[in-house]
Amino acid sequence: MTDTNKAGYKRLNSNELPMLRVPQQHGWRQSLPAELGEGRSLIVQLDPSLSYIETTYQPRHDLAIASKIDFGEPRLVVTLGITGHTRFIDSKRHELTFSEGRTTITSFDSSNGERQYQANKPIKQLRFSIGKRWIDRYLGENESAFFFQKNALQLLSSRPSHTQSMIAARQLLGCDLSNPLAPLALNGHVMTILANELSGLCRPEKYGYSKFDKASRRMADQAREILELHYQDPPSLEQLAKTLGITPFKLKNLFQHYFNNSPYGVVTEIRMQHAYRALASTRQPISLVAEMVGYRHASNFSLAFNKYFGVSPKQISKKR
């Protein structure tokens, strides 16, 4: 049974979506009710500690699907955005955005929140849910402690997907799932994606890169926190480096290593996320939103927004 909240979203719980075993596709299928639009998720258990979820949605209405899951152990979730954008908001109002062309890596041991979809906007996402045993097996015993540092939902990384990952994703989506050897092909493509996307998160000191140690990670996180606090009028590269007591060259290296981005690129990410929320949830004009997130000219903001999300600010603001 669906409901509509104050923001205009039609809402339902994930346990209302039927889960059907599909032996010829080596997994389970969960479908959206026809009256709400087109939508399905294919779930394949590749390993006791590794699941592959392929989600394709195009709802007729703004849609929010609530879920409450307790895994009993920490999980790492790698999400590749193939088409479109979605948001996840947990019970504490923490928000994650999953965008086309980007890989988002999160960890948590329980999930209580809702995933939001825009009306008539096609989305396709690939998710890989990974348990501690898988991490220990492929990355070494106790490596999971590096990934699962907190019990709560935490964002570990959000960066452009590797080219090789996108190639493997297209091969993954093109697999003939009725083939008896499909699980073998799926596993090969999935392993390629995970090898690419997790490489930037592995502890650098373990692999001999001594210049990136725990102190470097703390310094990178501190720099990012400063940018998050002052994203509207961020310090220059030289000012930020001076605050941390390092050279601009080292600062750029830290951002490239830990965030796969430049300091200015991270500022753009932060601005875009704030702008998207403002456009999607308020009636503020685009020019005001542009100014709010630090752009002097609305035209520059619109170009940056379109480049980042693949849609114009006007398209988002019309969704209110």
Token look-up 């929010």 returns 64
Span 272-287, pLDDT tens digits = 989 988 888 887 899 9
Span 174-233, pLDDT tens digits = 888 888 888 888 999 999 999 888 876 665 444 444 456 778 888 999 999 999 999 999
Q: Would strands 63-83 and 102-117 be described as parallel, antiparallel, or unpaired?
A: antiparallel
Q: What is the pLDDT of residue 182?
A: 85
Rounded to whole angstroms, the maximal C-alpha distance in the chain is 60
Nearest CA among 301, 57, 54 for reference residue 171: 54
Asked if pLDDT for residue 141 goes beyond 60, the answer is yes
Whole-angstrom Cα distance, residue 11 to residue 122? 18
HSE of 100, CA atoms in CB hemisphere, 13 A: 14
Q: What is the pLDDT of residue 205?
A: 46
Token look-up 């990136």 returns 212
Asked if pLDDT for residue 35 goes beyond 70, the answer is yes
Asked if pLDDT for residue 15 goes beyond 60, the answer is yes
Query: Given phi > 0 = left and psi -120 to 50 = alpha, else beta, which region is 282?
Result: beta
Whole-angstrom Cα distance, residue 21 to residue 67? 20
Whole-angstrom Cα distance, residue 107 to residue 150? 8
Whole-angstrom Cα distance, residue 157 to residue 135? 17
Span 90-101, pLDDT tens digits = 877 778 889 888
Cα torsion at 46, 142, 214, 105 (round to 10°)? 20
The pTM score is 0.65
Q: What percent of the chain clears pLDDT 90, i.e. is strictly above it? A: 38
Asked if pLDDT for residue 144 goes beyond 70, the answer is no
Question: Amino acid identity of 146?
Answer: F
Q: Would strands 63-83 and 85-90 be described as parallel, antiparallel, or unpaired?
A: unpaired
State the average pLDDT over residues 278-297: 90
Whole-angstrom Cα distance, residue 133 to residue 140? 10
Specify the DSSP class assigned to residue 201. T
Token look-up 């394949």 returns 44
Asked if pLDDT for residue 124 goes beyond 90, the answer is yes
